[in-house]
Amino acid sequence: MDSTATASLASLWDEVSGTQPDPDLWVVIATLVAALAVVIPHGLWRVSRNAITIAHEGGHGLVALLSGRTLTGIRLHSDTSGLTVSRGKPYGIGMILTAASGYTAPPLLGLGGAALLGAGRITLLLWLATALLLAMLVMIRNAYGALTMIVTGGLFVLVSWLAGPQVQAAFAYVVVWFLLIGGVRPAFELQAKRARGGAGDSDADQLSRLTHVPAALWFFLFHAVSLCSLIGGGAGCWTCDRPA
């Protein structure tokens, strides 16, 4: 590798790993309002929930790989449901962690994103998210899922490569707020659906069968993770390195 290429790579790494200044307070408030606007109204939530499904199924897939299982495919459906299929023992800690990672993935990703924002690593956040989306695209096994991933990943690529610092910051804050706020709603929706006699094979039910722990306690875990992530990540987004 010649010196010019080495210098270019070093410059790119400095750009990605370097810190960026915090956005103005009005940007933080505006992005919070924008996230609330696509999570609270039912009509918009039916569309925006697709992004939470990506994080949910991506969490299943990533933990399956990390726990030694073989990930065979991920499907995303137009009704915002999804399915992640992996091979391995149908019991044990790997299966338990894989099943538990779906509802906890979006809020934990939001919490991690808030930590990066707090450290001023806006560009790094966007590049990591883009890399995860591209890696997940390889495992998608249906047309709707592939289209969803291409549109979402393409948006991250465009913002990461072409947008200016202020646009990147606003986009990153919207994404993190959305994961933190949107990560709370699905577990409550699932619990309400089960109360009406539906979703008998939900993640909580699978975990109950795997561990012999009541599904209600798994719901408690989902709620605890999402609400604690919202509180911790929200505080980080609101106060990150901002002068008093």
In this predicted structure, what is the pLDDT of residue 137? 96
Q: Is residue 200 part of a domain?
A: yes
8 — pLDDT class (breaks 50, 70, 90): low
Tens-place pLDDT, residues 108-153? 999 999 999 988 899 999 999 999 999 999 999 999 999 999 999 9
Cα distance between residue 85 and residue 161, in whole Å: 33
In degrees, to the nearest 5, what angle opens at C-alpha 110 toward C-alphas 107 and 116? 150
- What is the C-alpha separation between 78 and 96, in angstroms, rounded? 27
Identify the pLDDT of residue 244: 44
Q: How far, in Å, CA of 58 to CA of 86, rounded?
A: 12
Residue 95: inside a domain? yes
Residues facing 83 on adjacent strands: 75
Look at residue 82 and tell me if it is in a domain: yes
Tell me whether residue 28 is in a domain.
yes
Mean pLDDT of 175-180: 97
Distances (CA, A) of 46 to 39, 80, 106, 133, 202: 9, 7, 16, 21, 19
What gap in Å lies between CA 122 and CA 113, rounded to an integer?
9
Is the separation of the CB atoms in 198 and 191 below 8 Å? no
What gap in Å lies between CA 13 and CA 5, rounded to an integer?
A: 12
* Per-residue confidence (pLDDT) for residue 240, from 0 to 100: 60
Q: Give domain status of residue 1, yes or no.
A: no
Q: What per-residue confidence (pLDDT) applies to 7?
A: 53
16-66 pLDDT, tens digit per residue, is 656 777 888 899 999 999 999 999 999 999 999 999 999 999 999 999 999
Residue 8 is assigned to a structural domain of this protein: no
pLDDT of 196 reads: 85
Note the pLDDT tens digit of each residue in 188-237. Answer: 999 999 888 877 789 999 999 999 999 999 999 999 999 999 999 998 88
Q: CA torsion sign, 162 to 167 to 168 to 171?
A: negative
What is the number of structural domains in the chain? 1
Q: 84 phi and psi, to 5 degrees?
A: -115, 125
The domain containing residue 194 runs over which residues? 21-239
b/e burial code for range 49-70 (CB count within 10 A of at least 16 → b): bbbbbbbbbbbbbbbbeebebe
pLDDT greater at residue 106 or residue 237: 106
Burial class (CB in 10 A: 0-12, 13-18, 19+), 203: buried
Q: Using alpha carbons, select from 33, 31, 95, 26 the residue that is nearest to residue 63.
A: 95
- Report whether pLDDT(86) > 50: yes
Per-residue pLDDT band at 163 (split at 50, 70, 90) = confident
pTM listed for this prediction: 0.91
Could you tell me the pLDDT band of residue 161, with boundaries at 50, 70 and 90?
confident
Q: E strands, the chain, where?
A: 70-76, 82-87
pLDDT at 242 over 80: no
Residue 196 amino acid letter: R
* Confidence at residue 201, expressed as pLDDT on a 0 to 100 scale: 83
Any domain includes 100: yes
Q: What is the pLDDT of residue 2?
A: 62
Nearest to 130 by CA among 163, 102, 100, 84: 163
Is residue 71 assigned to a domain?
Answer: yes
Q: What is the DSSP string of 176-219?
A: HHHHHHHTTHHHHHHHHHHHTT--TT-HHHHHHHHH---HHHHH
pLDDT at residue 241 above 70? Answer: no
